[in-house]
A and B are shown apart, each in its own frame.
Chain A
């Protein structure tokens, strides 16, 4: 144990019944350092950091904090020793103010009553110190995700955290919020706080971190000095093989003469006057900032949110799907952004997930034809290359990429012709991303059409035939493939269209 480390994980092993989640992983963290922890989904990053908070108890190994050795942590021990974790889901209470959240569980008191004024004053001070402008009296539910995260960070600092662990902090943030977060993180670093930063976005890691630790399949792979590392090198270490290209080649399969889906001046779900057309064999990208109204228009097309005005035409015929069930019947499918909440049925098997939209079709007098059920599941498991020991495996136990494949398999089983992807590769690791892209290419090759919402500029430009950009519920730009460039997309995405009087 060297003196310079504030946190040292030594030969951590974690076994679950039947699986080894971590095999002999070590990690060192110096004072005032930002260490990036990267690895594919399922590599064991979350399990590893949870051993620091006491949420996971290691099977063997030691945890050293400021020179003290522990076999395991508990949430209380972690707090006492200055370890704080910012999870992706925040622990804020929406109905309470920013200040109340900051002092949640340990309010400032004047005798028996809560001293709200002092709390607001202290909160203001804490926020100012971090250089963030939050009104302490504002209810947290009215704050943006970025500010809610700042409150979490401020809370950790208030509790004298010396080690701050951040699990994909940038995932829910807009690019501007990410910049703010970086500023705060750098400030903390300057104050001597040690930070473990987990992210899938390599560019962030290069911008922020001092060192990078890579783990793969629960094993320690390597630790690199950031300024000596390259992106290709990291990807190679993460996936364990060389990745030559990020996006698979695709000839133009678009048949401009066949408009499959057309929106004419559609209003609804917060969106205004959206017109677009999607052709056979086309990937139409939908760009814009988070909250620009892209998911919202997808919901209208998919029948899960009502349309107020305008026309939706499917192969030239007007449609008005009022439920997902109707939209699916019309051959429209949605692969939602939050796959665990809206996409896959985690508690059901792969077989049941794939067959879910077609159960009524493959049943006679409501009794399922089990051979068809099995055959369908096998077919799409093979086509999608879903990695699983058997089809009765619960989807909960699959990796993010494989879950996404199950969802896609479900829609192919339902014979969907138009597939809407909402952030198709969010939270999916590099290797699996490529596979998803290949599957998207296969879809259009077979003559299906894809509407792809993406906040990742590179993905949007790498995968789309055309790009439409939304801002504040309106279309603010349209680009043909030859016109693709990130400046034009950003400009359109931040454009504000004045309300017509």
Chain B
């Protein structure tokens, strides 16, 4: 009974271990320290963004705008530093703040106006992708101070700083979910919004907070990406929402809301990260990778829905 319970909560980690074993057998380069560090670097961006997305999906919402937020932050942060000559720290802070405000805007549309999250964040996805183009004129921006490499390029020993940032974000996410009353509210709202409101939770306010957090973490992810790439591109974050949603759902956060844990999402991120990496090592074409990832998303949501069906019977 106990092992069964332990299994139920952590089955996703077994999937991860199985995946690692398969890739290790298939390609001897997979398990090398260099490659593992490379995986950590690769997952950092969507790992960080997945923290905010976890909150959003927990309340049965969705945030399609985070890919655009990543792009938008790339462009404005680069613009602030290169075109306006702002100091790095100031540019970073303002950019992340702007990303948070995009989240607040999403919160306004979803909570105050009542636009379904899918449409509201879809709209802001287009708006901020367009704004990024307008600011950059469609041209890449580059030429940052070498210190800006801190977020994405530097390492402490072998450990990349971006991976440390990701770990801290996961830690903060887990802390919010388990130790703060906001976490309790997220689960309550995801479980039953009406009952949550009637239990005294200010649902509208909490939703603002959640979308703002989603914007904040996407902004942070954008900074890490910009630092890693060394130049701001207008297509930087394109499609990132897909990977992030896949990680979160794969990690066991129910799209129906109310169910999920941060540790599961960490596993989801690592699975997708090593899957991408493993496929690259095995020379799987990027088109075939898309097929695989799409299947993974469908299967992850499928399992979630089947579990729900089974519970009902």
Q: Indicate whether A125 reaches chain B with its CB closer than 8 angstroms.
A: no
List, in ascending order, chain B residues with CB within 8 A of A368's CB. 179-181, 184
25 sampled A-B residue pairs with Cβ under 8 A: A302-B198, A304-B197, A323-B197, A324-B199, A328-B200, A329-B200, A334-B198, A341-B192, A341-B195, A343-B198, A344-B195, A345-B188, A345-B192, A345-B195, A347-B191, A348-B258, A353-B199, A356-B184, A356-B200, A357-B199, A359-B181, A359-B185, A360-B181, A368-B180, A370-B179
A343→B195 contact, CB < 8 A: yes
Known: A56-B313, A347-B192. 5 other contacts (CB 8 A): A329-B200, A341-B192, A346-B191, A348-B188, A348-B191
How far, in angstroms, from A359 to B200 measured CA to CA in the complex? 10
Closest A residue, CB atoms, query B175 = A367
A342→B198 contact, CB < 8 A: yes
Residue-by-residue, is A362-373 near B (CB-CB < 8 Å gives 1, otherwise 0)? 010011101000
List, in ascending order, chain B residues with CB within 8 A of A56's CB. 313
B187→A348 contact, CB < 8 A: yes
List, in ascending order, chain B residues with CB within 8 A of A352's CB. 184, 187-188
How far, in angstroms, from A366 to B177 measured CA to CA in the complex? 11
Q: For residue A450, give the distance in angstroms from its CB to the closest CB of chain B.
A: 18
Interface size classification for chain A: 20 to 34
Q: For residue A446, give the distance in angstroms from its CB to the closest CB of chain B.
A: 21
Closest A residue, CB atoms, query B257 = A347
Closest B residue, CB atoms, query A362 = B181
Closest B residue, CB atoms, query A56 = B313
Interface size classification for chain B: 20 to 34
List, in ascending order, chain A residues with CB within 8 A of B179's CB. 367-368, 370
B199→A366 contact, CB < 8 A: no
How far, in angstroms, from A302 to B180 measured CA to CA in the complex? 27
For window 56-74 of A, CB contacts with B under 8 Å fall at: 56
**Top-10 shortest CB links A-B:** A347-B191, A359-B181, A357-B200, A328-B200, A356-B199, A366-B180, A347-B258, A363-B181, A325-B200, A324-B198
Q: Indicate whether B201 reaches chain A with its CB closer than 8 angstroms.
A: yes
Q: For residue B115, give the distance in angstroms from its CB to the closest CB of chain A.
A: 21
A324 contact from B181, B190, B200, Cβ within 8 A: B200
**With A367-B179, A368-B180 given, is the CB distance from A341 to B194 under 8 Å?**
yes
Q: Indicate whether B182 reaches chain A with its CB closer than 8 angstroms.
A: yes
Q: Indicate whether A457 reaches chain B with its CB closer than 8 angstroms.
A: no
Q: Indicate whether A410 reaches chain B with its CB closer than 8 angstroms.
A: yes
For window 213-258 of B, CB contacts with A under 8 Å fall at: 258
**With A56-B313, A345-B191 given, is the CB distance from A366 to B200 under 8 Å?**
no
Residue-by-residue, is A37-53 near B (CB-CB < 8 Å gives 1, otherwise 0)? 00000000000000000
Q: Indicate whether B97 reaches chain A with its CB closer than 8 angstroms.
A: no
How far, in angstroms, from A352 to B185 measured CA to CA in the complex? 10
How far, in angstroms, from A343 to B191 measured CA to CA in the complex? 12
Closest A residue, CB atoms, query B182 = A366
Q: Indicate whether A414 reaches chain B with its CB closer than 8 angstroms.
A: yes
Q: For residue B273, give the distance in angstroms from its CB to the closest CB of chain A.
A: 30
Q: Indicate whether A218 reaches chain B with its CB closer than 8 angstroms.
A: no
Q: Indicate whether B297 reaches chain A with its CB closer than 8 angstroms.
A: no
Q: Indicate whether B259 reaches chain A with its CB closer than 8 angstroms.
A: yes
How far, in angstroms, from A329 to B198 measured CA to CA in the complex? 12
Residues of A within 8 A of B (CB): 55-56, 302, 304, 323-325, 328-329, 334, 336, 341-348, 352-353, 355-357, 359-360, 363, 366-368, 370, 410, 414
**With A304-B197, A325-B202, A342-B194 given, is the CB distance from A367 to B180 under 8 Å?**
yes
List, in ascending order, chain B residues with CB within 8 A of A410's CB. 199
Q: Indicate whether B196 reaches chain A with its CB closer than 8 angstroms.
A: yes
B184→A414 contact, CB < 8 A: no
B198→A304 contact, CB < 8 A: yes
How far, in angstroms, from A356 to B191 measured CA to CA in the complex? 13
List, in ascending order, chain B residues with CB within 8 A of A329's CB. 200
List, in ascending order, chain A residues with CB within 8 A of B187's CB. 347-348, 352
**With A341-B195, A342-B194, A346-B191 given, is the CB distance from A366 to B259 under 8 Å?**
no
Closest A residue, CB atoms, query B181 = A359
Closest B residue, CB atoms, query A351 = B184
Residue-by-residue, is B259-298 near A (CB-CB < 8 Å gives 1, otherwise 0)? 1000000000000000000000000000000000000000
Q: For residue A409, give the distance in angstroms from its CB to the closest CB of chain B.
A: 12
B184→A359 contact, CB < 8 A: yes
How far, in angstroms, from A80 to B191 measured CA to CA in the complex? 38
List, in ascending order, chain A residues with CB within 8 A of B200's CB. 324-325, 328-329, 356-357, 414
Q: For residue B216, give the distance in angstroms from its CB to the closest CB of chain A.
A: 16
List, in ascending order, chain B residues with CB within 8 A of A356's CB. 184, 188, 196, 199-201
Q: For residue A363, give the distance in angstroms from its CB to the closest CB of chain B.
A: 5
Query: Quick one: which of B185, B194, B198, B258 has the most chain A CB within 10 A?
Result: B198
List, in ascending order, chain B residues with CB within 8 A of A334's CB. 198
Closest A residue, CB atoms, query B179 = A367
Q: For residue B189, give the distance in angstroms from its CB to the closest CB of chain A.
A: 9
**With A328-B200, A356-B200 given, is the CB distance from A55 to B195 under 8 Å?**
no
**With A352-B187, A356-B184, A359-B181 given, is the CB distance from A342 to B202 under 8 Å?**
no
How far, in angstroms, from A346 to B195 measured CA to CA in the complex? 9
List, in ascending order, chain A residues with CB within 8 A of B197's CB. 304, 323-324
Query: Quick one: which of A329, A341, A344, A359 has the most chain B CB within 10 A?
Result: A359
**With A56-B313, A347-B187, A348-B188 given, is the CB distance from A342 to B195 under 8 Å?**
yes
How far, in angstroms, from A302 to B197 measured CA to CA in the complex? 11
Closest A residue, CB atoms, query B311 = A396
Q: For residue A136, give the distance in angstroms from its CB to the closest CB of chain B.
A: 33
List, in ascending order, chain B residues with CB within 8 A of A325's CB. 200-202
How far, in angstroms, from A410 to B184 measured CA to CA in the complex? 15
Q: For residue A120, give the distance in angstroms from its CB to the closest CB of chain B.
A: 35
How far, in angstroms, from A355 to B188 measured CA to CA in the complex? 12
Closest B residue, CB atoms, query A55 = B313
